A and B are shown apart, each in its own frame.
Chain A
Amino acid sequence: MGKYILRRLLMMIPVILGATLLIYFLNFSLPGDPLAGRCGDRPCSPAYEAAFRAEYNLDQPFIVQYVRYLGKLLHGDLGTNFYGKSVAHELAIRYPTTVKLAVIAITFEAVVGVLAGILAGIRKGKFIDNLVIVSTLIFISIPVFVVGGVSQYLFGLKLGWFPVTSGDGSLEQLLLPGLVLGSLSVAYAARLTRTSLVENLRADYVRTAKAKGLSTARTVGIHTLRNSLLPVVTYIGASFGVLMGGAIVTERIFNVNGIGNFIWRSISQRDGVSVVGAVVCLVIVYLVVNLIVDILYGVLDPRISHD
């Protein structure tokens, strides 16, 4: 097990290198000059311009810029953006909000999605099954900015159940954005649970459980569910990794001061250092979450061995 984790951690190194190189290169290739408009209506003085370019290595070729960045990254330094602020600090003040948002969404997904899937699966072909299939289809086919906009208008403005936008990122303010963020994965989780349950209910070991004289509740609740939830756990884990990366659209709609919003603003301001820093951070979080999910899978399914 320890060996497996070590191997997985080592495998992250090339992934992180590749990700930084790609993002750094994309950023480098973007048109526009961070100095444009920096000194108001007048062009900046040549002395300031030269000093600025030297400070951020902008006068160097791409590869030198990248290697110097990487050198700092190895020391855990995510760099300073063009406004003189530490990227690490900028991320640190926003991350708790994004984590809160992701936890709300994932709880919604795990509880409502899985429950709806179980109900639909054991009542296959009945009313509740059709209800789940149709309602999940609606959430899957409507883009998140529509769901977000409509629920903001309906539940925020018209009904007044939730705050319209998020200010300081309290739990109450994040509830509606969290539900909107989770709506798509709730639908997928429900469908996955349903399919997996229906499939497993036909399995031979379920017939054995019946032949043993077990009650239906025990046959489904203990014997079938354990197996049916394996793919669901993987899906929910993976979607948590995605959600931890912040949600650009949802955070924009509800003005949540999280990572997604930060990335969006940094991109539009050509603040490359911030973008690369945030993305590196997200890649690492994503990889770690995935590793945890894979380890968890081995715990849930005795057939998977990590030795």
Chain B
Amino acid sequence: MSIFEPTNNRLLDVSDLFVEFRTREGVAHAINGVSFSLDRHETLAILGESGSGKSVTAQAIMGILDTPPGYVTGGQVEYCGVDLLRLSERERRRVRGAHISMIFQDALSSLNPCFPVGWQIAEMFRIHRGLSKSKALEASIRLMERVNIPAARERVKAYPHQFSGGMRQRIMIAMAIALDPAILIADEPTTALDVTVQAQIMDLLKELQAESGMGLILITHDLGVVANVADRIAVMYAGRLVETAGVHEVYADPRHPYTIGLLESVPRMDVARQETLPAIGGLPPNLLAMPEGCPFNPRCKFAVDGCRVGEPPPLTQLASAEQRYAACWQVDQLTDMSTAGGQR
């Protein structure tokens, strides 16, 4: 597919993406002008709590939003310079799975319970490449070996429920990387797994990425997972990016009150034991009735009157650092306050 030859390192350019859900209760603005990019070899972590719009962003990029109720209402999703949102459904289908693929949180429910795992992996080769049944099955066995599933040849005809959670996620990964995609979106790939298996899966993803140079978008709410694998972090809140920066910068010096709150709520071994873990008060906003001004203002301890009126703050580059962006009116005062408060 010649039109999708990468011209440079840039794989994906999402700009000003808007998604809304038209429900009986009203229109929920799930994504409000999200922009980010992804390069080859890069791992971008999209961080946020439930309902912040991280999974919806991924589904919009893949083009697998449930429509209705979900609609992409604006923006571009450029893959190798081609805006995917302008392609026909038929053309998009050829990108899906083959160029941009995705793995999901719960591998048991994400795999079809009625078909053998080998058959499900082989489907990728049969549909996209037109391989014969036997050749596709051979290719599936090689893939299962590549994601370290023991006795792949014997297990290729087994069903998803006959595998452990970690093995099932490996099968999902095998299916997703089958056609050497340029981009892999992992939507909370380790949330349903126990901690040791989590590490194995993340190591596997890293290893596969190193081999192929694919771009990885890691959607998660687990700050621990992010710290080990991500190159860059994009923090989402109420359908907006509130902070983007390199992973070390964010951990060392968060610049948005929400990011600060998130990091404070992580249990730490290097700080004396506290009575209770700090938490961000309040609840995420109702997408049907967003607060006026900055969407985070009702929960923000740094909010001033100016935060409670007008438009939400735009994601702007910080004066102090290149490649760092935050969406906060108080961003300049914040640094002093948080260091003065001695929190970090």
Report which A residues bind B (CB closer than 8 A).
203-205, 207-215, 218, 223, 226-227, 300-303
Q: Is the CB of B96 within 8 A of A209?
A: no
| Residues of A contacting B62 in the complex (Cβ-Cβ under 8 angstroms) | 210-211
Instruction: State which of A207, A226, A227, A303 has its C-beta within 8 Å of the C-beta of B104.
Output: A207
B124 within 8 A of A: yes
- B96/A213 in contact, CB under 8 A: yes
**Neighbour of A227 across the interface among B112, B159, B161, B172, CB < 8 A:** B112
B136 interface residue per 8 A CB criterion: no
- B110-A207 in contact (CB<8A): yes
A-B contact pairs, 12 of them (CB 8 A): A205-B111, A208-B104, A208-B172, A211-B62, A212-B124, A213-B98, A213-B127, A214-B127, A226-B114, A227-B112, A302-B113, A303-B113
Task: Verify A303–B161 contact, CB threshold 8 A.
Answer: yes
Residues of B within 8 Å of A214, CB to CB, are: 93, 97, 123, 127
Using CB atoms, name the residue of chain B closest to A226: B114
Interface of chain A, helix or strand or loop or mixed?
Answer: helix
Partner of A204, one of B96, B106, B114, B161: B106
- Are the C-beta atoms of B127 and A211 separated by less than 8 Å? no
List the A residue with the shortest CB-CB distance to B175.
A212
- Tell me if B64 is interfacial: C-beta within 8 Å of chain A: yes
What residues on B are CB-neighbors of A203 within 8 Å? 109
* Contact A211 to B101, CB < 8 A, known contacts A204-B106, A218-B127, A303-B161: yes
Given known A-B contacts A214-B127, A218-B127, A303-B161, A208 and B111 have beta carbons under 8 A apart:
yes
- In the bound assembly, the distance between CA atoms of A209 and B124 in angstroms comes to 10
Q: Which of A208, A210, A213, A300 lies in contact with B112, CB distance below 8 A?
A: A208
B172 cross-chain contacts in A, Cβ below 8 A: 208
- List which B124-144 residues lie within 8 A (CB) of chain A: 124, 127-128
B97 x A301 contact (CB < 8 A)? no
> Which residue of B has the minimal Cβ distance to A208?
B110
Knowing A203-B109, A210-B64, A211-B64, say if A227 contacts B114 (CB, 8 Å): yes
- Nearest-Cβ distance from residue B172 to partner chain A, whole angstroms: 8
Q: Give a binary string over B79-110; 1 marks a CB under 8 Å from any A CB, 0 the rest.
A: 00000000000000111111001101010011
Q: Could you say which residues of chain A place their CB within 8 Å of the CB of B98? A: 213
Q: Are B123 and A205 in contact (CB under 8 A)?
A: no
Q: How far is the CA of A207 from the CA of B159 in the complex (A)?
A: 19
Give complex CA distance A203, B66 in Å: 12
- Measured in the bound complex, the distance between the Cα atoms of B161 and A303 in whole Å is 7
- 8 closest A-B pairs by CB: A213-B97, A213-B96, A204-B109, A212-B97, A302-B159, A205-B112, A204-B110, A210-B64
Inter-chain contacts of B116 with A (CB < 8 A): 302
Contact assessment for B159 and A303 in the assembled complex, using a CB-CB cutoff below 8 Å = yes
Q: For A226, list chain B residues within 8 Å (CB).
A: 112, 114-115
Query: What residues of chain A lie closer than 8 Å to B115, measured between beta carbons?
Result: 223, 226
Say how far A19's CB is from chain B's closest CB, in angstroms. 36
Report how far A276 CA is from B113 CA in the complex, Å.
45
Q: Look across to chain B and name the residue whose beta carbon is closest to the beta carbon of A201.
A: B66
Q: What separation, in Å, do the CA atoms of A289 and B294 have in the docked complex?
A: 65
Q: How far is the CA of A303 from the CA of B163 in the complex (A)?
A: 12
Chain A: minimal CB distance from B248 (Å): 32
For A223, the closest partner residue in chain B by CB is B112
Of all chain A residues, the one with the shortest Cβ separation from B108 is: A204
Inter-chain contacts of A212 with B (CB < 8 A): 96-97, 101, 123-124, 127, 175
Q: Is the CB of B104 within 8 A of A204?
A: yes
6 additional A-B pairs beyond A208-B175, A213-B127, beta carbons within 8 Å, are: A204-B104, A207-B64, A208-B110, A211-B64, A212-B127, A218-B127
State the Cβ distance, A232 to closest chain B Cβ, in Å: 14
**Closest Cβ–Cβ distance, residue B38 to chain A (whole Å):** 17
